[in-house]
A and B are shown apart, each in its own frame.
Chain A
Amino acid sequence: MADLAKDLAEAREHVAPRWTPERARRVRLAVEERARRPDRRARAVALIAATAAVLAAVFYFGGGRELSPIPVQAVAPREASPAAEPRVLFALADGTVVTALSADARVEPMGVEPRAVTVRLAQGAARFSVTPNPDRQLRVISGDTVTTVLGTVFEVSRRTEGVHVRVERGRVRVSFPGGERELGAGESLLSPDAKTPPAEATSRPEPAEPLPPRAVARSASPSWRSLAKDGSYARALAGILPTGAEAVRDDPADLLLAADVARLGGEPERAVKWLSRVIEGHAADSRAALAAFTLGRTLLDQLGRPREAAVAFAQARKLGGGGALAEDALAREVECWSRAGEATLARERGLEYLGRFPNGRRLAAVKKLAEVD
């Protein structure tokens, strides 16, 4: 056995898979595809749990009382007709789930941490059912509007006139350029994307009408866009490349979508070009800050260019005007300068972070990277 161990020790470094970028990309697409499908095991567990709960309740109440309709309504119809289940866009292990209310709904996770989860509603309308957790906040960024919750059920829709938030249960805090408002059950609010003041909150529950499926659909070259919305980024990119610049319209939504396709399709350099066009050509648009933040991530994470990334994160802070991205962007700036070997700049930005966010979520990491106490 000693000889075997010796021979193995020399041979084992050759035990390696042929893990090529193309293979990694293919598997990644398969993960995304499977992630979009409902979790069969979780549904089976939910069905068993619901059945057990109903049986236990029947047993406990001796069949003499009516069961509360809420748990039955919440679980049974969904299990009974899985074909009618809404498309799950995002889910957490604690039971928090985001489902599509419109065909074009797209939600992107921006941060999943023990104490905070941040997602972006890129387009369409979605329903957020958030499991109560006083130690964890969930934030939904939609344009300039940020909805913050601890545990509730609410809907967010991106519409041409702005972002619409409607609360079914619990309370949420909605922040938008120039204001902030708390909404309770049954209340709704239309927060404008532009600089106009927000519509008054109303206590009258609005009907949860589905948005027209093509409310924000684009007219030209639908193929790469629909592929991108389905998560087939490599195929979407292949659809853009033959026609080049003409395939992407000069509007922020189209440019951001193309940048997503390029980033996730393995061509980050092209994403830089499209994101830069949003920042330079549409600086007044509410999405310019997000474009700058995404540009920073692309430059830092995918292209290994920390100096340029630092500039992009600084631009994101400037364009966002101290909004929801400010803290993360400043922390990323510290990281960029640290990675670039610019200790002085990292320290300066680190001190700025400490001053502005003394209880910030990234405090420990920033202190370490900036080498400040």
Chain B
Amino acid sequence: MPRGEPLLHAVAPLPVPTEVGAERDALDLDGLYRRYSSYVAAVAHRLLGRDDDVDDVVQEVFLAAVRGLGQLREPLAVKGWLAQVAVRSARRKLRKRRLRAYFGLAEAGVPESVCDAGASPEQRALLARVYRELDQIPANDRIAWALRHVEGEPLESVARLSGCSLATAKRRIASAARALEEALSDG
């Protein structure tokens, strides 16, 4: 994959939606789910770093779609809209996870499960370590960093998906990067 290209499009290839196709998929849950469920699952997985909450996020996203698509004025924007809902849902999960951890109720994570079978042992180790450290970072910073460096999204897209300004997105990414750098250099 060429460096710098948004990762989502490479990992979760989607047919280029024709105007009619996109309109049609905005019409019903059936078409929407068929076209975008794997995309939403991929976004959730990369933000959460674990497989066990992905189903919940996908459910919440498409439930929101069932109830809220009527408000969407531009059918072609449906993919971005779903991603925004996925980010919001993932943020809630991450905050709950941190709260549970604060009270010592966090379940043991399985960071290795973040990788597919094609990852080398070194890549598995790296990703496991990164996601373990990300668990210590505030949810907003983590999401911004993951969107930028794991998803490969441009900064403007990070800001839009995170629901914040470009300056805030940059600040969150930098904050997460500093924390990660410190943690990983200590190890």
Instruction: Decide whether A and B are members of one complex.
Output: yes
Contacts of A365 in B (CB 8 A): 18-20, 23
Find out whether the CB atom of A34 lies under 8 angstroms from the CB atom of B63.
yes
Find out whether the CB atom of A35 lies under 8 angstroms from the CB atom of B63.
yes
Find out whether the CB atom of B20 lies under 8 angstroms from the CB atom of A335.
yes
Bound complex: CA A117 to CA B51 (Å) = 36
A to B CB contacts below 8 Å, 11 in the list:
A16-B42, A17-B41, A18-B116, A19-B38, A28-B62, A109-B27, A110-B27, A110-B28, A111-B27, A365-B19, A365-B20
Bound complex: CA A106 to CA B30 (Å) = 16
Find out whether the CB atom of B59 lies under 8 angstroms from the CB atom of A112.
no
Bound complex: CA A347 to CA B15 (Å) = 23
A94 within 8 A of B: yes
Cross-chain contact of A92 among B29, B70, B123, B150 (Cβ < 8 A): B70
> Chain A interface (Cβ within 8 Å of chain B)?
1, 4-5, 7-19, 23-24, 26-28, 30-32, 34-35, 39, 42, 91-94, 96, 108-114, 117, 263-264, 301-302, 331-332, 334-335, 338-339, 362, 364-366, 368-369
Q: Which 3 A-B residue pairs are closest in the complex by CB-CB distance?
A: A14-B119, A92-B70, A17-B45
Contacts of A92 in B (CB 8 A): 67, 70
Task: Given A1-B181, A27-B55, answer yes or no on A11-B70 (Cβ-Cβ < 8 Å).
Answer: no
Interface-forming stretch among B3-11, B80-88, B91-99, B101-109? B3-11
Bound complex: CA A4 to CA B127 (Å) = 10
How many interface residues does chain B have, given as a range? Answer: 35 or more
Bound complex: CA A109 to CA B21 (Å) = 17
Determine the residue in chain A with the shortest Cβ distance to B115. A14
Find out whether the CB atom of B177 lies under 8 angstroms from the CB atom of A11.
no
**Which interface residue of B51, B63, B115, B180 has the most chain A CB atoms within 10 A?**
B63
Task: Given A31-B59, A34-B63, A301-B31, answer yes or no on A18-B51 (Cβ-Cβ < 8 Å).
Answer: yes
Find out whether the CB atom of A28 lies under 8 angstroms from the CB atom of B42.
no
Determine the residue in chain A with the shortest Cβ distance to B55. A27
Find out whether the CB atom of B10 lies under 8 angstroms from the CB atom of A19.
no
Interface-forming stretch among B71-79, B135-143, B159-167? B71-79
Find out whether the CB atom of B116 lies under 8 angstroms from the CB atom of A14.
yes
Find out whether the CB atom of A94 lies under 8 angstroms from the CB atom of B70.
yes
Find out whether the CB atom of B41 lies under 8 angstroms from the CB atom of A19.
yes
Find out whether the CB atom of B149 lies under 8 angstroms from the CB atom of A31.
no
Further 20 A-B residue pairs, CB within 8 A, beyond A14-B123, A16-B11:
A8-B150, A9-B152, A10-B123, A12-B46, A17-B42, A23-B55, A31-B33, A31-B66, A35-B29, A35-B63, A112-B27, A112-B69, A112-B70, A113-B23, A113-B75, A264-B30, A301-B31, A335-B21, A364-B19, A366-B20
Q: How far is the CB of B94 from chain A (nearest CB, A)?
A: 16
Contacts of B46 in A (CB 8 A): 12, 15
**Which interface residue of B10, B20, B41 has the most chain A CB atoms within 10 A?**
B20
Cross-chain contact of B72 among A23, A30, A114, A368 (Cβ < 8 A): A114
Contacts of B73 in A (CB 8 A): 114
Find out whether the CB atom of B18 lies under 8 angstroms from the CB atom of A109.
no
